[in-house]
C-alpha cells in the first residue's frame, strides 16, 4: 500500500512538473506576442492618415478575397490547408522544372552563374529526393497545416477580414523575416552539433552539389521545425492569412534559389543575403554559413569567417577557377 501511494505521489509530481513547464512555455510565447505587437504597433498619430490608407491594388485584392472566401462554402481550416498546399504546388514544382531544363541545356551566360560547373549531384539521390518531395507535398504539408491551424487561430490569424494597411503588411513581413532569420540560424547551428548531426541534418548534407529540389530534402524532424521557424513571426503577430502566404512564397523561392547551384547576384551586391554561393560553401565544406535569409547572424557570431577566408585564400576555389576559365573563353 505504501509503495502504491509513493508511486501515485511520484506520478502526480511528474505531472505537475510537466504542466509547469508547459505553462512557462505558454507564458513565454504570450510575452513574445504582446511584446512584438507593442513594439511594432502603428503609432496613433498615423492612424487614419494617408500613410496607412489602403492602396487601390490592396483594396481590389481584399475585395476579391472576401468574395471568394464568403462564397466558397469551405471551412476556414480547409482554406488554410488548401492555401498552404497550393503555394508548394504553384511555386516549388514549376520553378524546379525550369531549373531542370537549365541544368540540361545551355543558356547565355550559364557558366558565369553556375557555382560548380561540370559537376552534378548523384542522379539516384535526386530521384530519391523527388519521390520524398511528392509524398511530403501530398500528405505531410496538408496534415501539418491542419495540425497547426488552431495555433494560428489562437494567436489571432485573420482570414475573413479585409487585408490590413500597407504598413501593417510590411511590419508583419519584417517580423517574419527577423524571426525566420534568427531562429533559423540557431536551429541550423544546433542541427550541426555532433550529438544531433548524424541523426537528423546529415541527410540534407548528402548533397555536395546543390539543385533546386534539395531545398526540401531533410529528415522529418528537421522539416517540421524548419517549417515552424519559417512561420513563427506571422504566427505571433496574428498576420492576415494572405500576408502569411505572401511570406511563405518569398521564403520558398529564396530557399529554392539558395540551393539552385546558381549565384545570380554580383558578389559585391550579395553580401547582406545568403544566396547560392554562400550556402553552396556550407554544403561543400560543411562548416559555418548557417544563415537562412541574411548573413547578419553569421557575421555577428563569426561563423562566416571560414567562408571569407576561403574567398581570399590561394586555394583552388570552385567559383574563382570557373570565373577564370569562363573569362578566357570569352576573351
Lowest mean pLDDT among 53-67, 102-116, 168-182: 53-67
Percent residues over pLDDT 70 in the chain? 76
CA angle, residues 171, 277, 328, in degrees to nearest 5: 135
Instruction: Give the whole-angstrom CA distance, residue 247 versus residue 75.
Output: 22
Of 252, 206, 228, 207, nearest to 96 (Cα)? Answer: 252
Residue 11: per-residue pLDDT: 53
Q: Do residue 29 and residue 69 come from a single domain?
A: no
Q: For the range 72-81, what are the long-range contacts, defined as Cβ-Cβ under 8 Å and sequence gap of 24 or more?
A: 76/149, 76/153, 76/159, 76/160, 77/146, 77/149, 79/159, 79/241, 80/145, 80/146, 80/149, 80/152, 80/159, 80/241, 81/142, 81/145, 81/146, 81/149
Is residue 102 scored above 60 in pLDDT? yes
Q: Do residue 96 and residue 16 come from a single domain?
A: no
What 3-state class would DSSP assign to 158? strand
C-alpha cell at 27: 507564458
Q: Do residue 18 and residue 153 come from a single domain?
A: no
Domain of residue 126 covers: 40-330
Q: Average pLDDT, stretch 293-311?
A: 92
Is residue 50 scored above 50 in pLDDT? no
Domain count, the chain: 2
Cβ-proximal residues to 36 (8 Å cutoff; 6+ apart), any chain: 175, 233, 236, 237
Q: Do residue 188 and residue 57 come from a single domain?
A: yes
Lowest mean pLDDT among 111-125, 148-162, 191-205, 294-308: 111-125
Q: Average pLDDT, stretch 158-181?
A: 93
Higher pLDDT, residue 320 or 108:
108
Is residue 106 scored above 70 in pLDDT? yes
Residue 234: per-residue pLDDT: 96
Residue 193: per-residue pLDDT: 96
Lowest mean pLDDT among 48-52, 123-127, 153-157, 277-281: 48-52
Query: Tens digit of pLDDT for each residue in 193-224?
Result: 999 999 999 999 999 999 999 999 999 999 99
Q: Average pLDDT, stretch 27-55?
A: 53
Q: Do residue 49 and residue 189 come from a single domain?
A: yes
Q: Do residue 274 and residue 321 come from a single domain?
A: yes
Residue 299: per-residue pLDDT: 94
Q: Average pLDDT, stretch 23-38?
A: 57
Q: Do residue 121 and residue 9 come from a single domain?
A: no
pLDDT band at residue 266 under the 50/70/90 scheme: low
The top-scoring range by mean pLDDT among 30-34, 47-51, 266-270, 311-315 is 311-315
Q: Average pLDDT, stretch 316-328?
A: 47
Q: Do residue 242 and residue 101 come from a single domain?
A: yes
Q: Do residue 155 and residue 33 come from a single domain?
A: no
pLDDT band at residue 316 under the 50/70/90 scheme: very low
Q: Do residue 68 and residue 16 come from a single domain?
A: no
Task: Tell me whether residue 73 is exposed, middle or buried, using C-beta atoms within 10 angstroms of its C-beta: 0 to 12, 13 to 18, 19 or more.
Answer: exposed
Q: Do residue 117 and residue 19 come from a single domain?
A: no
Average pLDDT, the chain: 83
Q: Do residue 112 and residue 238 come from a single domain?
A: yes
Is residue 129 scored above 70 in pLDDT? yes
Residue 155 CA to its chain's centroid (Å)? 20
pTM of the complete model:
0.82
Amino acid at each position: 500500500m505504501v509503495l502504491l501511494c509513493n508511486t501515485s505521489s511520484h506520478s502526480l509530481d511528474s505531472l505537475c512538473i510537466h504542466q509547469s513547464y508547459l505553462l512557462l512555455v505558454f507564458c513565454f510565447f504570450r510575452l513574445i506576442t504582446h511584446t512584438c505587437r507593442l513594439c511594432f504597433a502603428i503609432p496613433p498619430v498615423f492612424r487614419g492618415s494617408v500613410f496607412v490608407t489602403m492602396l487601390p491594388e490592396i483594396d481590389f485584392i481584399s475585395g476579391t478575397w472576401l468574395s471568394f472566401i464568403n462564397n466558397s462554402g469551405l471551412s476556414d481550416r480547409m482554406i488554410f490547408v488548401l492555401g498552404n498546399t497550393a503555394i508548394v504546388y504553384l511555386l516549388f514544382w514549376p520553378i524546379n522544372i525550369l531549373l531542370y531544363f537549365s541544368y540540361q541545356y545551355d543558356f547565355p551566360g550559364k557558366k558565369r552563374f553556375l557555382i560548380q560547373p561540370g559537376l552534378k549531384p548523384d542522379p539516384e539521390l535526386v530521384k530519391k529526393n523527388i519521390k520524398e518531395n511528392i509524398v511530403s507535398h501530398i500528405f505531410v504539408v496538408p496534415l501539418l497545416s491542419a495540425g497547426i491551424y488552431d495555433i494560428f487561430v489562437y494567436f489571432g490569424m485573420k482570414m475573413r477580414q479585409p487585408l490590413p494597411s500597407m504598413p501593417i503588411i510590411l511590419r508583419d513581413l519584417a517580423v517574419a523575416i527577423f524571426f525566420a532569420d534568427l531562429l533559423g540560424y540557431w536551429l541550423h547551428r544546433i542541427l550541426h552539433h555532433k550529438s544531433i548531426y548524424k541523426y537528423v541534418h546529415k541527410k540534407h548534407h548528402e548533397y555536395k552539389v546543390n539543385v533546386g529540389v534539395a531545398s526540401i530534402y531533410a529528415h522529418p524532424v528537421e522539416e517540421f521545425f524548419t517549417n515552424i521557424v519559417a512561420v513563427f513571426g506571422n504566427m505571433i503577430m496574428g498576420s492576415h492569412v494572405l500576408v502569411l502566404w505572401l511570406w511563405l512564397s518569398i521564403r520558398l523561392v529564396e530557399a529554392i534559389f539558395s540551393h539552385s547551384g546558381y549565384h545570380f547576384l554580383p558578389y559585391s551586391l550579395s553580401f547582406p543575403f545568403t544566396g547560392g554561393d554562400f550556402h553552396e560553401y556550407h554544403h561543400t565544406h560543411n562548416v559555418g554559413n548557417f544563415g537562412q535569409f541574411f548573413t547578419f547572424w553569421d557575421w555577428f557570431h563569426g561563423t562566416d569567417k571560414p567562408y571569407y577566408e576561403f574567398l581570399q585564400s590561394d586555394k583552388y576555389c570552385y567559383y574563382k577557377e570557373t570565373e577564370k576559365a569562363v573569362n578566357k573563353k570569352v576573351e
